[in-house]
Amino acid sequence: MKAYTNIQLAFWKDAKDKYSALTSKVDVDKTPRVYWETNVVMTAATAVVSAPGGERFNVPDLGKMILVTAALIQSLLFLFGVNYYSNGFETPGLMDMVNTEPWKLKKQRPDLFRDLKSLFNFFQAVIKHPDANKLQAERISLDLKLLKKYMTTTKDIWGFFIQDYYDRHNNGIIPGGALDDFTNI
């Protein structure tokens, strides 16, 4: 017996579950802007809040938001990576992969490519290649509104990928249930 898993979908579902837990009791669109100032080893993060009129609110957990962001990128890395055929050469990075045949995201959906680039740059700076000097010099800008944008971007890229796949393999007919995990965030 063989067991199959869809690791890219598992990362997406993990991100979606963690995001839901963070936002279940919050109207994301009404939350104030939050920046994070960290110490050298990121053992403490202080929220700097821009709330109108000194309004009180619960500050989201930076660590949990970073885990969601990491899972979003991992879902896309696996989604494109397992569907990329390198012909024996090294697999390119995500931003290069999404612009190869057959996807060409930058050409087909420049808006979506721009949003992915923003997500990917945040991932590179804060998660993949954190740097104490950089993190001290700049505030980490991540709040629930930006996280919602990252969720939407990832969801839309999945939709782009799925539509492209079925355009090439099934005359554009997407089987029932193929988009169930991407209908809302």
Position 1 in a domain: no
DSSP 8-state class, residue 53: G
Q: What is the pLDDT of residues 164-183, one digit of tens each?
A: 988 888 888 888 888 888 88
Distance CA 147, CA 154 (A): 11
Looking at the chain, the whole-number percentage of residues with pLDDT higher than 90 is 35
Q: Is residue 29 part of a domain?
A: yes
Residue 93 · residue 30 · CB < 8 Å = no
How many structural domains does the chain have? 1
Is residue 2 domain-resident? no
- Which residues span the domain enclosing 131? 7-182
Backbone angles phi, psi at 90, to 5 degrees: -65, 140
| pTM confidence score | 0.82
For 110-144, how does the pLDDT look when each residue is reduced to its tens digit (9 = 90+)?
999 999 999 998 888 888 876 666 555 445 778 88
| Low-confidence stretches of the chain (pLDDT beneath 70) | 1-5, 33-59, 130-139
Structure tokens that stand for 108 in this block: 């087909």
